[in-house]
Structures are given as C-alpha cells and as structure tokens.
Amino acid sequence: LQLNIFERVEREDGEKDRRFRIEHAQHIAPADVPRFGQLGVIPSMQPYHAIDDGRWAEKVIGPERAKTTYAFRSLEDTHARLAFGSDWPVAPATPLEGIYAAVTRRTLDDKHPGGWVPEQKITVEEALRAYTTGAAYATFEENEKGSLTPGKLADVVIIDRDLTKIPPDTIRDAKIEYTIVGGRVVYDRDAKR
C-alpha cells in the first residue's frame, strides 16, 4: 500500500528528489521487493532484528513470506539504496551487531548456523555502505557525512580490526577503539580500561 502511494505521488506530482523511505522495511511481500529499486524507495532497516525475528517469523508469516523478510540481498540486487540503523534502545546500539546480523543471519538461538534465509545475506562492504553512505543519503546528508571525504564532518568509528578481512562469525568480537564526532573524540576505549 505504501509503495502504491509513493508511486502515485511521483506520477501525479512529477519526479522530485523526495527520497521516500519505509522505516522497518522488514516483512516485505515478494511482489514488492523489486518495486523498491524501481521506485527509488529507500528500505530503512535494522539488521539486528533479523537474527532476533528469525527465531519465530516463519511460524507467524509462513515460509513463502519469510523468504523476503529482511530481504537485504534481494533489495540490494534491485539497486535500492539500503539504509541501516540500530533501533536502539530496542536493539543494541553498536553497528557491529547489525553488520554481523546482515552478513551471517545467524539467529540468536543459533538454530540457523548457516544463516536464517541465507540467500538474503549481504557482504560486509554492502552492510558498511548501508550504515554509512546509505543512511546519510536517506536523510539528505550525503554532502555532510557518510564517507571520509574532505569537507565532510569528521564522524569516524575506529575498529580494532578490518571487518572485511576477518571471518564473518567474528565480527561481533571486534572492539570499537575510538568514536570521533565532528572531529572530537567522544569515546576512547583506552580511557575505559
């Protein structure tokens, strides 16, 4: 229904840089998945919920609909711009948990060690993009933040290892060393020890 409304607005009012988005775009009807890319609608998602909901979702919505629940890969393949966030305080604030969830899809009960609906896994690089440039684009802030580019805000998280070079199952073990916001250190792991 919401995608129909967005499509109608574009048709009747002309194309503009509105950047429509659907927050918590998690349980998507299979026929609607390609429409995100076609319409340019941003699926704003909280990946951690996939490894939580994965424990019960199939029983509630059925196996067919579960195939496009937290449809990270399918949405990425439609060229939709994914935007990830934490949904804190409902879920852990750290993006490391969300990256782990998007890449492994291992449910919290560990009943899906190969990943719940594993065909929906994405790469670490794709998850990082959704948390950075994707999130900034969703809020019209891509010229201010979202990437390490001269002139943009110096908002940086420094992690103790390269997430693209470690086994996905160990992403959760990574530690945030520093958080820098606006060029100022707001978290220093060494100061906490």
- pLDDT, average across residues 147-173: 95
Q: What is the pLDDT of residue 1?
A: 83
- Within-domain flag for 100: yes
Question: For the chain, what is the mean pLDDT?
Answer: 95
- Within-domain flag for 61: yes
Cα 46 to Cα 41, 69, 148: the distances in Å are 16, 12, 23
Q: Are 137 and 146 in contact (CB under 8 A)?
A: yes
Residues contacting residue 16 through CB under 8 Å, at least 6 positions apart: none
- Within-domain flag for 174: no
Residue 142, both tokens: 């891509």
Each residue of 63-122: pLDDT tens digit? 888 999 999 999 999 999 999 999 999 999 999 999 999 999 999 999 999 999 999 999
- pLDDT, average across residues 13-30: 91
- Within-domain flag for 105: yes
- Within-domain flag for 160: no
CB-facing half-sphere around the CA of 184: CA atoms within 13 A: 2
Each residue of 49-68: pLDDT tens digit? 999 999 999 999 998 889 99
- Within-domain flag for 192: no
- Within-domain flag for 19: yes
Range of the domain at 132: 2-144
Q: Residue 129 pLDDT > 70, yes or no?
A: yes
Q: CA-CA distance, 94 to 139, in Å (whole number)?
A: 20
Q: CA-CA distance, 68 to 75, in Å (whole number)?
A: 9
Question: How many distinct structural domains can be found in the chain?
Answer: 1
CATH code, domain with 37: 3.20.20.140
Other beta carbons within 10 Å of 164: 9
* pLDDT-based confidence at residue 192 (cuts at 50, 70, 90): low
Place of tokens 């790469």: 123
- Within-domain flag for 163: no
Q: What is the pLDDT of residue 182?
A: 87
Share of the chain above pLDDT 70, in %: 99
